Chain A
Amino acid sequence: MRTSTRVRSALLTMVVSAALLTACGSGGQSGPGGQPTITYWASDQGSSIAEDVKVLTPELDAFTRQTGIKVNLEVIGWSDLLNRILAAATSGQGPDVVNIGNTWSTSLQATGAFLPISADVLNQIGGTGRFLPNAIAATGAPGKDPVGVPLYSLAYALYYNKAMFAAAGIQNPPATWEEFVADGKLLTHAQQWGVSVEGASTSENAHHAFTFSQQQGGGFFDASGKPTFNTPQNVAAIKQYVDFVAADKIANPSDAEYSNGTEAVQDFATGKAAMMLWQTADAQLGNYGMDPAQYGVVPVPFPASPPSGARHVDSIVAGINMAVFAATRNQDAALQFVKFMTSRQTQIDLNKAYSSLPSVTDAYSDPAFQTPTAKTYQQILTDSAAPMPAVTEESQFETAMGTVLKNLFADAASGKAVTEQAVATQLDQAQQQLNAGG
């Protein structure tokens, strides 16, 4: 035993020294010519992290050539990103610039860990005038300096497989949920399903919960920011979405396992599902070998006879923002980088590569954003998309609501009935947990 203890303490010493060395190493580094090196945590936008590195590297190189500032890039998967950001905020040891999902803005704003983008800061990076109004609205709580600058704009739409629709004798893509379910049933047979969903993805689930609830005239927070999860409208909304698996049986029960943002897309691209409700997916679908001519993109359906109080919302204002850590020692360099990333040419290059939409108006003249799909998305973003609730508990809400749906999908997949009572119980518990978190 003695030897092993000695070996263990030697190992421990090694690990600790290594950790200390890296901790020291990550402090303010300087590149050649006295220019700093900044660290950038990018969210994963493509179908793999390797692809993101491939897309971003030439842009970062161009930035270094322009300014002499080196960028240390780390691409972080969606499921880890929020945790990593929180850990960095808690410890004060983080990157200089980071991508945040725009729906988290208000939550992250409350931490005070990010540089407020005041009018003065905004002027340094090129002014407000250029950004899309809807995108800039989703950068923080109203009346406070936002903590992010819009980078990529996204929205949800309905993707449908043209050949499968033709084979099932369906003329037009569904415009109402009633048509959607009827079509879904026609499209479900043998190895093929009507629609693919990511039933275990908490963020995806929360986004749909929000849109469906708006369409039912519901809402998850009242005007004063108090949670109102368990209302009849919200129960109806949640049940409607889970019923794709539970009652309508137009989605594969196996979808209840999907969580990493690629599986449902892959099922759509490989002909296992005829529809999907997704954010801009053209680049991903292309990677899976699907040609844009094979599918159509239309707005997400709406109830045929909407209940009273329903709002015509068919998407969240989705997008990615760039935020600068307040603790950065390289604020100037970080802001120069933000300016570069939101410049016209970079916006065109990156959004083309990711098939997202630019967050600045002057990039839209590029032909890449004049395609029918891009036009559909632009219209959704200007006319019928709503931002997620601007409350400080937004991020908690996403996980809580996402978990409610994940559990209900799991029940539905294992053949359990998903009753209104079951939905109400889950919503009730989620709300209690959110209140307790206060």
Chain B
Amino acid sequence: MTVAAEPTRTHAAHPPPAPAPKRHPWQRVARLGLPYLLLLPAVLFELLVHVVPMLVGIFMSFKQLTQFFIRNWSAAPFAGLANYRFALDFDGVVGQKLLHSFEVTCGFTVLTVGVSWLVGTGAAVLMQDPFRGRGVLRTYFLVPYALPAYTAAITWEFMFQRDNGLINRLLVDDLHLFKEPPFWLLGPNSFWALVVTAVWRTWPFAFLVVTAGLQNIPGELYEAAALDGAGVWRRLRSVTLPQLRPVNQVLVLVLFLWNFNDFNTPYVLFGNVAPPQANLISLQIYDTSFHSWNFGSGSAMSVLLLLFLLLLTTAYLLVTNRRGKADG
């Protein structure tokens, strides 16, 4: 990294850079170091908030951490890979439950992200052209995103109650769709209650991001497309969606990670034990850690989940980047 090496690599086309004014070496160090110095607080906080707990979690996953050691958990005996074997033993009850909750979570996430993206994008495209009351409507759309997750989920819990809930009053009393009021908070329907609540909470973010993305599309593209005789659908397909690709790439990833790890929504909807049909993986990990007091296995499951999400995210980024390049 010394400047002396530079002249040998100079090409004729690039004139050598004007020699920098002489500075005291200390000044140069300070100048080079300043950005890092400014970054330092953020790095420290990042370490404190994310990296340290993560390392602690990984460490815990190799320990036999039961109730006898939770007060002084570093004294817990080492378990080797036992916690991982236990989590992945699909013949055992816990492994079976973990696998089941993994499947439920995959279905839940794909549905929630898909529907949220569709609704959010649809709303953003419809709101693209200015009209009276657009601002009010936009603000209104963002309400679910602004509400605290707990408040929102508990409201849904009231609405989904079988006897006194708003949903059944609408479906059974007003629309007469069912003879007997169905259960939403237990049994197979609990999965749908979870999806509805999650979509309601998720789509405004998709709307917000897509709206921002739409504002970055130059108007000339639409004008040119209109000149070429492209209709509404053609413009959507050939201009809007391709232009939104980078935005969507990030958006879908963020939505996926959020929903895959969602704990608040099912916890508030169903209480500390969710129905098997709506038992997301985060709840299953919580169950292992806090109900069975087996924090070691709970940590091992968290690490497995983290690995899975890391792998998936990497694969996703690789594929979408390559496709993005191929198209561009």
Q: Which residues on A are within 8 Å of B, measured CB to CB?
A: 1, 9, 12-13, 16, 79, 82-83, 86, 89-90, 92, 107, 110-113, 200, 202, 252-254, 256-257, 259-260, 326, 392-393, 395-396, 399-400, 402-403, 406-407, 409-411, 413-414, 429, 432-434, 436-438
Distance A252 CA – B162 CA, assembled complex (angstroms): 11
Nearest CB of B to A260, in Å = 8
From known contacts A399-B291, A414-B187, A436-B292, infer whether A107 and B67 are also in contact, taking CB-CB under 8 Å: yes
Q: Which of B49, B71, B93, B162 contacts A90, CB < 8 Å? A: B71
Q: Are A254's CB and B162's CB within 8 A?
A: yes
Q: Are B86's CB and A111's CB within 8 A?
A: no
Nearest CB of B to A378, in Å = 33
Distance A110 CA – B71 CA, assembled complex (angstroms): 10
Instruction: Determine whether B186 belongs to the interface, using a CB cutoff of 8 Å to chain A.
Output: yes
Q: Are B92's CB and A432's CB within 8 A?
A: yes
Distance A406 CA – B93 CA, assembled complex (angstroms): 18
Nearest CB of B to A9, in Å = 6
From known contacts A111-B71, A438-B66, infer whether A395 and B293 are also in contact, taking CB-CB under 8 Å: yes
Q: Are B187's CB and A111's CB within 8 A?
A: no
Cβ-closest chain B residue relative to A200: B271
Cβ-closest chain B residue relative to A17: B45
> Chain B 50-85 against A: per-residue CB contact (8 Å), 1 yes, 0 no?
000000000000000011101111000000000000
Instruction: Determine whether B290 belongs to the interface, using a CB cutoff of 8 Å to chain A.
Output: yes
Cβ-closest chain A residue relative to B286: A83
Q: Are B290's CB and A83's CB within 8 A?
A: yes
Distance A9 CA – B46 CA, assembled complex (angstroms): 10
Q: Are A259's CB and B187's CB within 8 A?
A: no
Besides A402-B273, A433-B94, A437-B288, 7 more A-B contacts (Cβ < 8 Å) are A82-B290, A83-B290, A396-B291, A399-B291, A403-B273, A411-B187, A433-B292
Cβ-closest chain B residue relative to A272: B163
Instruction: Determine whether B130 belongs to the interface, using a CB cutoff of 8 Å to chain A.
Output: no
For this complex, 10 residue pairs linking A to B, each with C-beta atoms less than 8 Å apart, are: A16-B45, A16-B49, A200-B273, A399-B272, A402-B273, A407-B275, A414-B188, A433-B292, A436-B94, A436-B292
Instruction: Determine whether B192 belongs to the interface, using a CB cutoff of 8 Å to chain A.
Output: no
From known contacts A202-B272, A434-B292, infer whether A13 and B45 are also in contact, taking CB-CB under 8 Å: yes
Task: List chain A residues, Cβ under 8 A from B183.
Answer: 253-254, 256-257, 410, 413-414
Task: List chain B residues, Cβ under 8 A from A254.
Answer: 161-163, 183
Distance A433 CA – B66 CA, assembled complex (angstroms): 14
From known contacts A257-B161, A259-B271, A413-B187, infer whether A112 and B72 are also in contact, taking CB-CB under 8 Å: yes
Among A326, A414, A432, A436, residue most surrounded by chain B Cβ atoms (within 10 Å): A436
Instruction: Determine whether B48 belongs to the interface, using a CB cutoff of 8 Å to chain A.
Output: yes
Instruction: Determine whether B124 belongs to the interface, using a CB cutoff of 8 Å to chain A.
Output: no
From known contacts A13-B41, A107-B67, A257-B183, infer whether A90 and B73 are also in contact, taking CB-CB under 8 Å: yes
Q: Are B292's CB and A110's CB within 8 A?
A: no
Chain B: interface size category: 35 or more
Instruction: Determine whether B144 belongs to the interface, using a CB cutoff of 8 Å to chain A.
Output: no
Distance A407 CA – B45 CA, assembled complex (angstroms): 43
Task: List chain B residues, Cβ under 8 A from A83.
Answer: 272, 290
Q: Are B291's CB and A110's CB within 8 A?
A: no
Task: List chain A residues, Cβ under 8 A from B42.
Answer: 9, 13
Distance A79 CA – B270 CA, assembled complex (angstroms): 12
Q: Are A396's CB and B293's CB within 8 A?
A: yes
Task: List chain B residues, Cβ under 8 A from A257.
Answer: 161-162, 183, 185-186
From known contacts A86-B290, A432-B93, infer whether A16 and B48 are also in contact, taking CB-CB under 8 Å: yes
Q: Which of A326, A409, A437 contacts B294, CB < 8 Å? A: A437
Task: List chain A residues, Cβ under 8 A from B114.
Answer: none
Task: List chain B residues, Cβ under 8 A from A92.
Answer: 71
Cβ-closest chain A residue relative to B294: A437
> Chain B 273-316 against A: per-residue CB contact (8 Å), 1 yes, 0 no?
10110000000000010111111000000000000000000000
From known contacts A111-B67, A436-B92, A437-B66, infer whether A256 and B186 are also in contact, taking CB-CB under 8 Å: yes
Task: List chain A residues, Cβ under 8 A from B162.
Answer: 253-254, 257
Nearest CB of A to B143, in Å = 20
Distance A9 CA – B250 CA, assembled complex (angstroms): 17
Q: Are A89's CB and B71's CB within 8 A?
A: yes
Q: Which of A407, A436, A438 contacts B276, CB < 8 Å? A: A407
Nearest CB of A to B178, in Å = 13
Nearest CB of A to B77, in Å = 13
Distance A414 CA – B163 CA, assembled complex (angstroms): 14
Task: List chain B residues, Cβ under 8 A from A79.
Answer: 271-272
Q: Are A111's CB and B70's CB within 8 A?
A: yes
Q: Are A392's CB and B67's CB within 8 A?
A: yes
Distance A400 CA – B186 CA, assembled complex (angstroms): 17
Distance A202 CA – B71 CA, assembled complex (angstroms): 25
Q: Are B70's CB and A89's CB within 8 A?
A: yes
Distance A16 CA – B49 CA, assembled complex (angstroms): 8
Nearest CB of A to B95, in Å = 9
Nearest CB of A to B243, in Å = 15
Distance A231 CA – B272 CA, assembled complex (angstroms): 27
Distance A414 CA – B94 CA, assembled complex (angstroms): 26
Instruction: For chain B, residues 7 to 21, give those with C-beta under 8 angstroms from any C-beta of chain A.
Output: none
Nearest CB of A to B273, in Å = 5
Task: List chain A residues, Cβ under 8 A from B290.
Answer: 82-83, 86
Nearest CB of A to B185, in Å = 5
Q: Which of A111, A392, A414, A429 contacts B186, CB < 8 Å? A: A414
Distance A262 CA – B77 CA, assembled complex (angstroms): 43
